[in-house]
């Protein structure tokens, strides 16, 4: 039918129309009908497919229908999908944890909670068991002998107790791949350390291979039992791996069944990993729990008869209590003696003391000039750290404290001595008149009830010697030449004489307890300008001070000043008058 229709259309078109066939076909209704007949199914399918792509819900439904199968096929084909999805899954997990950590906690709680509780319980049981063994045997005669054995052999007491009370204990369990001889997993009992598990597993594999090569392998599968001193080695063979257990003591035969059950379980659950083992032991991390169940042990019962050493406990407590009471009594007696010593110390008044929280607390009054209470502790063997003092300051009227206060206030010269005679402080010796007047002023203002200051035996020192030295020094100037900063020749003897008298002046003032000061005043004549003359006069004074220092004069005694032409010795303008003005004069001040 379709062929006839096409033939009819072809016959109806003449040669002229055939030249313009494309435009004619577009307008011919018969061509349009033919196109509709031929392409209607494809157009419907394309429209439906376009509708699914344009509608998000329909597109999502279509993808979800094939997504599981696509993921399963991609995973079975290669690992690219897993590598591509890893960052996405990690980011989503981190975002979920940051948003609500409780979600992950609720997921892991059923798995981690029992494991954590089991681990804590096993650790506590092991610690309590070790503590129980140590306490059980530490106060018995047998325990004393075991302590001597531990000291003699250089081992720990717990290890000796375990050696004597243990029937058996599985200390190490090795899971070794049979074909390669490599160690897949290793577990050890508590407080047991292996120097090199890999080396031990290699040795066991070498021994097994040696036995198989030396004997008929079909008749002999390998080593079953091997005695190594006090240790016993049990091996359980499997088709792909074998277990090696290092046992201390004499284990029961049913331990073979425990080892065999653990090995069979590993072969059943991890057979694929054993068959495809290429050296990576990470696939066997889950077998550790099954190996730890093989770490069994059994202890022998100990006769717990009454031991005389148990009486040592109450006896030790009684002795400790008696020692504590004696020490407390001695401590209290020593502290009371210390308090009585403080109460007898001038300037200290103890108002109360008590023992609290293992320390002695003192309260009272203390004059700032009284002795330090902590310095008095040595004779009574009381630790300073156990003393807490709260001292309020006050001014004591005791004669000894009054004497210290007078000495601190007056600062007497070395020629004055004080002596305490009952309630009277007597001053003897000699002192300058000004110091005596100051002491009398202080004696008149002493508070009532305080010690009396007696100055009747104190002699007045005449300061004629100081005045003589002062007049001699001031009457002897040092002269200079015109424009010179150094003395003219022949002034050396004057400088030496001045230095000798200045040293004598310093010694006398120190003996009398007074202060003296010598001022060197530089002068210049009226020739020239005042400013250069002032600098020249100061330089002359400095030069003389330097020469005096070389003669042994204390520099603290000397001061310099430049007067320039302002303080002339001779007011005339003659050369003789000007030469008199080119000098350095001395002024001596005697201070209290």
pLDDT bin (cut points 50, 70, 90) of residue 216 is low
Residues in the chain: 592
Provide the CATH number for the domain formed by 144-299 in this structure: 3.30.450.70
Pick the range with the lowest mean pLDDT from 153-157, 162-166, 169-173, 528-532. Answer: 162-166
- Please spell the DSSP secondary structure of 310-355, one letter per residue: GGHHHHHHHHHHHHHHHHHHHHHHHHHHHHHHHHHSTTEEEEEEEE
The pLDDT value recorded for residue 560 is 93
Query: What is d(CA 111, CA 280) in angstroms, rounded to the nearest whole number?
Result: 26
Stretch(es) of the chain classified as CATH 3.30.70: 399-461
Query: 435 pLDDT exceeds 80?
Result: no
Residue range 53-69: mean pLDDT, rounded: 76
Residue 60 CA, chain-centre distance (Å), reads 61
Query: What is d(CA 438, CA 455) in angstroms, rounded to the nearest whole number?
Result: 11
Other C-beta atoms within 10 Å of 540: how many? Answer: 27
Going by DSSP bridges, is the β-strand pair 558-564/515-523 parallel, antiparallel, or unpaired? Answer: parallel
Place of tokens 């002192």: 431
If one compares 531 and 141, the residue with the highest pLDDT of the two is 531
Q: Is 225 helix (H, G, I), strand (E, B) or coil?
A: strand
Q: What value does the CA radius of gyration of the chain take, rounded to a whole number of Å?
A: 58
Burial zone of 562 (CB within 10 Å; 0-12 exposed, 13-18 middle, 19+ buried): buried
Residue of 218, 220, 215, 268 whose CA lies nearest to 241:
268
Provide the CATH number for the domain formed by 312-393 in this structure: 3.30.300
DSSP bridge pairs for 167: none
Distances in Å between the Cα of 108 and the Cα atoms of 8, 103, 113, 340 are 79, 9, 8, 72
DSSP bridge pairs for 428: 417
Summarised one tens digit per residue, pLDDT across range 185-197 is: 888 887 776 666 7
Burial zone of 588 (CB within 10 Å; 0-12 exposed, 13-18 middle, 19+ buried): buried
Query: What is d(CA 282, CA 300) in angstroms, rounded to the nearest whole number?
Result: 39
pLDDT bin (cut points 50, 70, 90) of residue 539 is very high
Q: Taking the complete model, does pTM exceed 0.85, yes or no?
A: no
Query: 328 pLDDT exceeds 50?
Result: yes
Query: What is d(CA 270, CA 263) in angstroms, rounded to the nearest whole number?
Result: 10
Q: Of 135-139, 307-311, 385-389, 525-529, where does the model show the most confidence?
A: 525-529
pLDDT bin (cut points 50, 70, 90) of residue 374 is confident
If one compares 73 and 163, the residue with the highest pLDDT of the two is 73
The pLDDT value recorded for residue 441 is 83
List Cβ neighbours of 104 (8 Å cut-off, separation of 6 or more): 93, 96, 97
Query: 4 pLDDT exceeds 50?
Result: no
Q: Is 247 helix (H, G, I), strand (E, B) or coil?
A: strand
Query: 407 pLDDT exceeds 70?
Result: yes
Query: 382 pLDDT exceeds 70?
Result: no
Residues 538/560, Cβ–Cβ less than 8 Å: yes
If one compares 100 and 506, the residue with the highest pLDDT of the two is 506
Residues 228/165, Cβ–Cβ less than 8 Å: no
Residue range 306-330: mean pLDDT, rounded: 72
Q: Is 385 helix (H, G, I), strand (E, B) or coil?
A: helix
Place of tokens 């198989």: 212
If one compares 87 and 465, the residue with the highest pLDDT of the two is 87
- Please spell the DSSP secondary structure of 24-73, one letter per residue: HHHH-HHHHHHHHHHHHHHHHHHHHHHHHHH-HHHHHHHHHHHHHHHHHH
The pLDDT value recorded for residue 6 is 39
Stretch(es) of the chain classified as CATH 3.30.450.70: 144-299
Summarised one tens digit per residue, pLDDT across range 226-249 is: 777 677 888 888 888 888 888 887
Stretch(es) of the chain classified as CATH 3.30.1330.60: 464-591
The pLDDT value recorded for residue 7 is 42
Query: 251 pLDDT exceeds 50?
Result: yes
DSSP bridge pairs for 344: none
pLDDT bin (cut points 50, 70, 90) of residue 479 is very high
Q: Which CATH number fits domain 464-591: 3.40.1390.10, 3.30.70.3340, 3.90.1150.10, 3.30.1330.60?
A: 3.30.1330.60
The pLDDT value recorded for residue 283 is 79
Query: What is d(CA 66, CA 64) in angstroms, rounded to the nearest whole number?
Result: 6
Query: 534 pLDDT exceeds 50?
Result: yes
The sign one gets for the Cα dihedral 89, 95, 99, 104 is: positive
Query: What is d(CA 466, CA 468) in angstroms, rounded to the nearest whole number?
Result: 5
pLDDT bin (cut points 50, 70, 90) of residue 543 is very high
Query: 589 pLDDT exceeds 80?
Result: yes
Q: Which fold has domain 399-461?
A: Alpha-Beta Plaits (3.30.70)
Query: What is d(CA 547, CA 544) in angstroms, rounded to the nearest whole number?
Result: 5
Residues 497/586, Cβ–Cβ less than 8 Å: no
Q: What is the DSSP letter of 297?
A: E
Residue range 287-295: mean pLDDT, rounded: 82
Residue range 521-532: mean pLDDT, rounded: 87
Average pLDDT, the chain: 75
Query: What is d(CA 147, CA 152) in angstroms, rounded to the nearest whole number?
Result: 9
Q: Of 154-163, 215-224, 395-404, where does the model show the most confidence?
A: 395-404
Residues 388/359, Cβ–Cβ less than 8 Å: yes
């Amino acid at each position: 039918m379709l062929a006839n229709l096409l033939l009819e259309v072809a016959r109806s078109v003449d040669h002229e129309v055939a030249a313009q066939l494309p435009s004619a076909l577009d307008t011919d209704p018969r061509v349009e009908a033919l196109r509709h007949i031929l392409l209607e199914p494809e157009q419907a399918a394309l429209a439906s497919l376009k509708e699914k792509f344009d509608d998000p819900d329909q597109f999502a439904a279509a993808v979800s229908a094939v997504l599981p199968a696509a993921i399963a096929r991609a995973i079975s084909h290669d690992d690219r999908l897993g590598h591509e999805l890893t960052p996405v899954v990690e980011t989503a997990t981190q975002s979920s944890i940051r948003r609500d950590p409780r979600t992950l906690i609720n997921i892991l709680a059923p798995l981690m909670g029992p494991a954590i509780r089991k681990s804590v319980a096993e650790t506590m049981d092991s610690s309590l068991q070790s503590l129980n063994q140590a306490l059980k045997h530490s106060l018995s005669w047998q325990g004393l002998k075991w302590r001597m054995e531990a000291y003699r052999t250089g081992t720990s007491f717990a290890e000796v107790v375990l050696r004597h009370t243990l029937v058996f204990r599985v200390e190490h369990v090795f899971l070794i791949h049979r074909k390669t001889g490599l160690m897949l997993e290793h577990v050890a009992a508590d407080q047991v350390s292996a120097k090199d598990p890999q080396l031990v597993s290699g040795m066991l594999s070498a021994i097994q291979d040696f036995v198989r090569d030396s004997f008929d392998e079909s008749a002999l599968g390998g080593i079953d039992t091997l005695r190594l001193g006090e240790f016993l080695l049990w091996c359980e063979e499997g088709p792909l791996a074998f277990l090696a257990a290092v046992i201390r003591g004499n284990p029961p035969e049913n331990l073979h069944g425990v080892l065999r059950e653990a090995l069979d379980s590993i072969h059943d659950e991890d057979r694929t990993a054993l068959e495809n083992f290429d050296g990576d032991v990470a696939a066997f991390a889950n077998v550790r729990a099954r190996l730890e169940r093989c770490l069994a042990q059994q202890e022998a019962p100990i006769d717990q008869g009454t031991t005389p050493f148990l009486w040592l406990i109450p006896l030790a407590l009684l002795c400790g209590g008696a020692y504590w009471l004696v020490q407390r009594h001695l401590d209290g007696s020593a502290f009371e003696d210390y308090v009585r010593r403080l109460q007898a110390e001038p300037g200290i008044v103890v108002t109360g003391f008590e023992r609290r929280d293992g320390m002695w607390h003192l309260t009272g009054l203390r004059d700032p000039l009284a002795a330090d209470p902590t310095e008095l502790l040595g004779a009574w063997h009381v630790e300073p750290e156990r003393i807490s003092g709260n001292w309020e300051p006050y001014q004591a009227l005791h004669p000894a404290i009054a004497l210290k206060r007078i000495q601190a206030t007056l600062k007497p010269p070395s020629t004055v001595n004080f002596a305490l005679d009952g309630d009277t402080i007597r001053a003897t010796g000699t002192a300058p008149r000004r110091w005596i007047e100051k002491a009398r002023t202080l004696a008149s203002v002493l508070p009532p009830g305080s010690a009396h200051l007696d100055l009747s035996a104190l002699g007045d020192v005449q300061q004629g010697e100081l005045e003589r030295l002062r007049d001699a020094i001031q009457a002897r100037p040092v002269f200079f030449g015109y424009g010179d900063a150094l003395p003219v020749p022949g002034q050396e003897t004057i400088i030496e004489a001045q230095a000798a008298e200045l040293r004598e002046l310093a010694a006398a003032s120190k003996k009398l307890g007074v202060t003296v000061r010598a001022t060197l005043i530089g002068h210049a004549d009226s020739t020239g300008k005042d400013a250069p003359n002032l600098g020249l006069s100061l330089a002359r004074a400095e030069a003389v001070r330097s020469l005096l220092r070389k003669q042994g004069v204390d520099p603290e005694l000397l001061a310099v000043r430049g007067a320039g032409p302002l303080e002339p010795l001779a007011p005339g303008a003659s050369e003789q008058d000007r030469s008199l003005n080119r000098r350095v004069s001395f002024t001596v001040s005697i201070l209290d």
